[in-house]
């Protein structure tokens, strides 16, 4: 293969003249790691950082350097894992301590990648001096591990919703280009660790993260995808020539993520590589069919839910562009964040228990399972046959809690027993608009807003001159280099109706009520009515009762049209009850003043 790519990897000067932590031999390194304080993360990170820094500035034989790095590797992986637990799943406006942990993790990953890069380059330069190991294998393993640690840095940047650091993509591309010039990219790696089985698949493991709209995903989703790409990347066609079906292109001479092929404006260069994901998308669709609603599990701690597979199929299957043009805006919005808070405010600031209980109050609901305390059981059934003949004040009021015992009800509504006032449990925030379009908003996040917000969360929005809460979903999060944090919101509906929902189960049992939001039909754009439900507990074809303290109806869930880590969205249809059917057949209202049910039998 003709070499078209200039290698621009930069290595530190090997001019170390200080006192090392241990003698630069594999035996001494092995003795040193035995005494490392593994349970003290701060000390472990500090010692490993110093050891790696010293090692990268020493003049050593490639085989010795590789052996010492292999000795440090298990403790290095423990340190990086412990650090990641301290900075992932943190507030969007990250406090100083987690930010410092992220920087330490990045430094360790950088130094480890640099160490293996030195081994690879010096092995190529000193090929004839290598005696204890095959030079090609030593170079192959070193580049693969350098790619693995560099790819972990790229993953970490995406998990923190920030741009990949300068030279981050370039280093990744250049390591692959180095392997390509040595014809090593397709050779099997004996010990791939958590990377792909070849240099190419390890490189694509990180590159594909840049193709899958990572700013729309959560930390756990990105970890699952990175684990999945370890094996799925082998399904990708990666070539120097376009096949005509390539969705992405990457320039090995650049410091940029992959681009859509149709958006690559420059003249194709010899350093360009084309990414055809059609086989991978077909493979993911097959996995989706086989997995059903369970998703894919890689191990006990790593799981890719079905919604993540659907997201990946959409991201890698076709190019999607913005449908609406953004326009600058600087006015303020009122915003409530999260399913529970949005449901509360859409319901008119009514607590969920009050929304689904009868007006008689929770005390009446608690005795509802006793037929002698049920007001309906004390009424004359013949009077109920013709309600128009009954002049009493009895009301047929649905109560979704009628079948719940007191302990279940208490557990279900334990949030209402919080010592916090309602305004603090379901706060409303002021957010500043950065820009807007007919399809959504871009907001500038501030420290006052809730820090546990994630992509995929439901939010309610209200402008100053509107009465209804607009329902939206957080589609992406981005931390900019100037310390600003932006979130992108996609509008789902201009209004919603809050309900409690119970799912019909076998033996005529029903689940405890759960919060749902009904999004009405929008005929102008052909959007059918849909139901927003919690992430679990609902699936297609289920029969569900929607109710409040004053009304109830039965529906059947139809197509599952969307889901995130926080909610699911279904199309649905209403189920006609007996009275509705009889009313339709009789072209009138059942139970009129002189009508009886018997006349319709």
**Residue range 76-85, pLDDT digits in tens:** 999 999 999 9
Rounded to the nearest angstrom, the gap between the alpha carbon of residue 480 and the centroid of all alpha carbons in its chain is 20
Q: Whole-number mean pLDDT of the chain? A: 84
Q: How far from each other are the two terminal CA atoms of the chain, in whole angstroms?
A: 85
**13: confidence class by pLDDT, cuts 50, 70, 90:** very high
Look at residue 388 in the predicted model and tell me its pLDDT.
38
- Decide if pLDDT at 583 tops 60: no
* High-pLDDT (> 70) share of the chain, %: 82
Residue 577 pLDDT level (bands cut at 50, 70, 90): low
pLDDT exceeds 80 at position 161:
yes
The per-residue pLDDT for range 170-212, each reduced to its tens digit, is 999 999 999 999 999 999 998 889 999 999 999 999 999 999 9
CA dist 466 → 62, 334, 461, 462, 463 (Å)? 68, 11, 10, 6, 5
Measured distance CA(117)–CA(201) in Å, rounded: 18
Give residue 587's pLDDT: 55
Read off the pLDDT band of 578 (50, 70, 90). Answer: low
For residue 425, is pLDDT > 50? yes
As a dihedral over the C-alpha atoms of residue 346, residue 347, residue 350, residue 352, rounded to 10 degrees, the angle is: -100
Across the range 566-587, mean pLDDT stands at: 74
- What's the confidence (pLDDT) of residue 505? 83
Whether the predicted pLDDT of 356 surpasses 80 = yes
**pLDDT score recorded for residue 482:** 61
Mean pLDDT of 62-86: 95
Note the pLDDT of residue 258: 95
Judge residue 551's burial from the number of C-beta atoms within 10 Å of its C-beta, 0-12 exposed, 13-18 middle, 19 or more buried: exposed
User: What confidence score (pLDDT) does residue 509 get?
Assistant: 77
- Residues 99, 166: Cα–Cα separation, whole Å: 18
Per residue in 323-341, pLDDT (tens digit) is 556 666 677 789 999 999 9
- Residue carrying structure tokens 């849909």: 530
């Amino acid at each position: 293969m003709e070499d078209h790519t200039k290698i621009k990897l930069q290595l530190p000067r090997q001019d170390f003249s200080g006192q090392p932590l241990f003698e630069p031999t594999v035996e001494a390194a092995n003795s040193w790691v035995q005494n490392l304080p593994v349970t003290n993360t701060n000390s472990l990170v500090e010692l490993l950082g110093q050891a790696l820094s010293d090692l990268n500035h020493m003049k050593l034989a490639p085989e010795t350097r590789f052996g010492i790095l292999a000795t440090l590797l298990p403790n290095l992986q423990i340190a990086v894992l412990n650090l990641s637990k301290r900075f992932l799943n943190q507030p969007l406006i990250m406090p100083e301590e987690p930010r410092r942990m992220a920087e330490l993790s990045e430094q360790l990953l950088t130094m480890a990648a640099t160490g293996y890069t030195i081994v690879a380059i010096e092995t190529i330069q000193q090929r004839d001096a290598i005696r204890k190991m095959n030079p090609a294998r030593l170079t192959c393993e070193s580049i693969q591990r350098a790619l693995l640690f560099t790819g972990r840095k790229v993953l970490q940047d995406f998990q923190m919703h920030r741009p990949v650091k300068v030279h981050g993509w370039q280093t990744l591309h250049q390591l692959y280009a180095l392997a390509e010039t040595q014809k090593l990219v397709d050779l099997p790696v004996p010990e791939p660790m958590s990377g792909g089985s070849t240099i190419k698949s390890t490189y694509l493991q990180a590159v594909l993260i840049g193709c899958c709209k990572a700013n729309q995903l959560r930390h756990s989703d990105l970890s699952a995808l990175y684990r999945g790409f370890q094996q799925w990347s082998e399904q990708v066609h990666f070539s120097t020539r376009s096949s005509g079906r390539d969705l992405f292109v990457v320039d090995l001479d650049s410091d940029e993520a992959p681009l859509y092929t149709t958006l690559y404006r420059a003249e194709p260069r010899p350093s360009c590589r084309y990414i055809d994901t059609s086989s991978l998308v077909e493979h993911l669709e097959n996995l989706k069919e086989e997995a059903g609603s369970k998703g894919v599990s890689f191990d006990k701690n790593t799981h890719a839910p079905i919604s993540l597979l659907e997201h990946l199929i959409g991201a890698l299957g076709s190019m999607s562009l913005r449908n609406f043009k953004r326009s600058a805006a600087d006015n303020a919005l009122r915003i409530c964040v999260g399913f529970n808070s949005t449901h509360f405010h859409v319901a008119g600031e009514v607590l969920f228990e009050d929304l689904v209980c009868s007006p008689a109050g929770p005390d009446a609901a608690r005795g509802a399972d006793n037929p002698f305390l049920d007001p309906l059981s004390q009424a004359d059934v013949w009077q109920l046959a013709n309600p128009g003949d009954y002049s009493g004040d009895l009301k047929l009021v649905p109560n979704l809690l009628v079948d719940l015992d007191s302990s279940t009800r208490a557990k279900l509504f334990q949030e209402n027993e919080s010592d916090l006032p309602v305004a603090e449990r379901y706060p409303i925030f002021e957010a500043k608009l950065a820009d807007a379009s007919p399809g959504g908003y871009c907001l500038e996040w501030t420290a006052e807003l809730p820090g546990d917000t994630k992509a995929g969360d439901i939010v309610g929005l209200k402008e100053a001159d509107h009465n209804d809460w607009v329902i939206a979903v957080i589609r992406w999060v981005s931390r900019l280099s100037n310390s600003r944090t932006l979130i992108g919101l996609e509008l789902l509906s201009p209004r919603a109706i809050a309900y409690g929902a119970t799912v019909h189960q076998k033996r005529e049992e029903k689940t405890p009520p759960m919060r749902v939001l009904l999004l009405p039909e929008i005929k102008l754009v052909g959007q059918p009515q849909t139901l927003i439900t919690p992430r679990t507990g609902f699936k297609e074809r289920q029969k569900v009762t929607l109710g409040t303290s004053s009304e109830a109806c039965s529906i059947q869930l139809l197509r599952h049209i969307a889901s995130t880590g926080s909610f699911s969205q279904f199309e649905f249809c209403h189920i006609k009850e007996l009275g509705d059917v009889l009313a339709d057949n009789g072209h009138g209202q059942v139970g009129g003043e002189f009508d009886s049910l018997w006349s319709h039998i």
